[in-house]
Amino acid sequence: MFDALLWRWVPLAAACLLSGCSTLDYYGHLAGGHLHLLQAREPISALLEDPAADPDLQQRLALAQQARAFASAQLSLPDNGSYRLYADIGRPFVVWNVFATAEFSLSPELHCFPIAGCVAYRGFYSQGRARGAAALLKQQGLDTYLGGVEAYSTLGWFDDPILNTMLRWSDERLVAVIFHELAHQQLYVADDTAFNESFASFVEHEGLRQWRAARGLAARDPAGEQQREHFIALVLASRARLAQLYASDLPAAQMRARKAAEFDRLRTEYHALRERQWAGQGRYDNWINTPMNNAKLLPFGLYDQWVPAFAALFEQVDRDWPRFYERVAALGQLPEVQRHQALTDLLAVTPN
């Protein structure tokens, strides 16, 4: 599973808790899951002062609080109660997202909510329920993919906690989650996932760069970043070929065979790249070697599509965070077609 594309989860729980969902059963599931999370919260300040607390946990939480303070003081992100609380929910993921597409389509089955708008997945607090939902969709002939998620944002409706699920990875990843999720609280545009995630991804990346500089840390490993970029480019190229295939008028049986051949090609190209440029060390072996379908490709591109545009905009405002957020908010107010055209125009601008 390509976790780096799945740990961000926009607020279906908050949307449903505040405005209701399509089915009472799903509403009850989300309400119960989020309530359990809220009840598990405790102040990080108290844990840091508790002599009986796990020292390793205290060390990670202390780092999280440093990042939390940096986010508001240096990145001008919301200064509220989020990520100043901790919750151990006793499982490796907070929710599991179910993605689905038609057999010959790369367009997601959308799920629409009053606050979050339409999103490309349904989230479940129970892995069993998520698997059941995926199985039902598969019975309908849809391609499905289930991914575990480490964190989500309620856009400031609740004080989001640091979760035990967020502590499974590196210090840098923990800091990244905090910056990314607070960016969603700073700005969220309904029905435009690529805009929201690209904006939060830019804030995350630039925030991490400034965080490293402020703490005298080395720059990110260029080899790891290059491998990630190569991998995403490989998957996006495969998606483009599949989109062209699905737009054709081929008979279903022939299209199905070519679809399978395209996934075989993606694996072959990945393994060739792994040996040729990555010295046989592939960070994405598990993802590439597990069953493949359209739904599994959905997260790719959403988190990176407009990042260069936001980088150009940041330079235009002389790297001033408040002015940057004002400009991004103005973009968010535009109709979608005009918003995307403005972002496309920004892509032509190369940051200094």
Residue 12 or 230, more confident:
230
The answer to the question of residue 97 being in a domain is: yes
CA dihedral (47, 50, 52, 57) in degrees, to 10, reads 30
The least confident of 118-127, 159-168, 298-307 is 298-307
Q: Where would I find the beta strands (DSSP E) of 159-301? A: 162-163
CB within 8 A of 238, min separation 6: which ones? 262, 263, 265, 266, 297
Examine the pLDDT at 236 and tell me if it is beyond 80.
yes
Mean pLDDT of the chain: 89
> Among residues of the chain, what percentage have pLDDT more than 90?
72
The DSSP-derived string for 1-39 is: --GGGTS----HHHHHHHH--S-HHHHHHHHHHHHHHHH
The answer to the question of residue 308 being in a domain is: no
The answer to the question of residue 89 being in a domain is: yes
Confidence tier at 7 by pLDDT (50, 70, 90)? very low
The answer to the question of residue 139 being in a domain is: yes
**Within 13 Å, how many C-alpha atoms sit on residue 97's CB side?**
31
Nearest to 86 by CA among 211, 20, 178: 178
Average pLDDT over residues 324-331: 98
How far apart (Å, rounded) are the C-alpha atoms in residues 36 and 29? 11
Average pLDDT over residues 113-121: 68
Examine the pLDDT at 11 and tell me if it is beyond 50.
no
Average pLDDT over residues 115-124: 76
Strand partners, 117: 113
Distance of CA 14 to the CA centre of its chain: 17
Examine the pLDDT at 62 and tell me if it is beyond 90.
yes
Confidence tier at 1 by pLDDT (50, 70, 90)? very low
pLDDT the model gives residue 116: 60
Residue 340 or 18, more confident:
340
Q: What is the pLDDT of residues 132-157, one digit of tens each?
A: 999 999 999 999 999 998 888 888 88
How many residues in the chain? 352
Average pLDDT over residues 299-319: 90
pLDDT the model gives residue 351: 53
The answer to the question of residue 127 being in a domain is: yes
CA dihedral (293, 299, 301, 307) in degrees, to 10, reads -170
Q: What is the pLDDT of residues 237-291, one digit of tens each?
A: 999 999 999 999 899 999 999 999 999 999 999 999 999 989 888 889 999 999 9
pLDDT the model gives residue 51: 97
pLDDT the model gives residue 229: 86
Q: What is the pLDDT of residues 202-218, one digit of tens each?
A: 999 999 999 999 999 98
Nearest to 182 by CA among 84, 111, 83, 250: 83
The DSSP-derived string for 278-294 is: STT--TTHHHHHS---T
How far apart (Å, rounded) are the C-alpha atoms in residues 150 and 164? 9
Are β-strands 85-87 and 162-163 bridged in parallel, bridged antiparallel, or unpaired?
A: parallel
pLDDT the model gives residue 109: 85
**Within 13 Å, how many C-alpha atoms sit on residue 119's CB side?**
24
pLDDT the model gives residue 4: 42
Strand partners, 145: 99
Average pLDDT over residues 213-225: 83
Examine the pLDDT at 14 and tell me if it is beyond 50.
no
pLDDT the model gives residue 16: 46
Strand partners, 124: 96
Alpha helix segments (H runs only) across 216-251? 222-246
Would you say 228 and 201 are in contact if contact means Cβ atoms under 8 Å apart?
no
Examine the pLDDT at 65 and tell me if it is beyond 70.
yes
Confidence tier at 234 by pLDDT (50, 70, 90)? very high
CA distances in angstroms from 120 to 32, 99, 102, 257, listed in the order given? 22, 6, 13, 26
Domain limits for position 28: 3-209
Distance of CA 81 to the CA centre of its chain: 22
How far apart (Å, rounded) are the C-alpha atoms in residues 127 and 146? 9
What total of structural domains would you count in the chain?
A: 1
Q: How is residue 206 written in tokens?
A: 């630039």
Examine the pLDDT at 19 and tell me if it is beyond 70.
no
Q: What is the pLDDT of residues 276-291, one digit of tens each?
A: 989 888 889 999 999 9
Nearest to 48 by CA among 39, 36, 37, 57: 57
The tokens 């129970």 sit on which residue? 126
Average pLDDT over residues 312-328: 98
Evaluated on CA atoms 201, 203, 207, 209, the torsion sign reads positive
Examine the pLDDT at 31 and tell me if it is beyond 90.
no
Nearest to 125 by CA among 197, 37, 189: 37
pLDDT the model gives residue 316: 97
The answer to the question of residue 70 being in a domain is: yes
The answer to the question of residue 28 being in a domain is: yes
The answer to the question of residue 220 being in a domain is: no
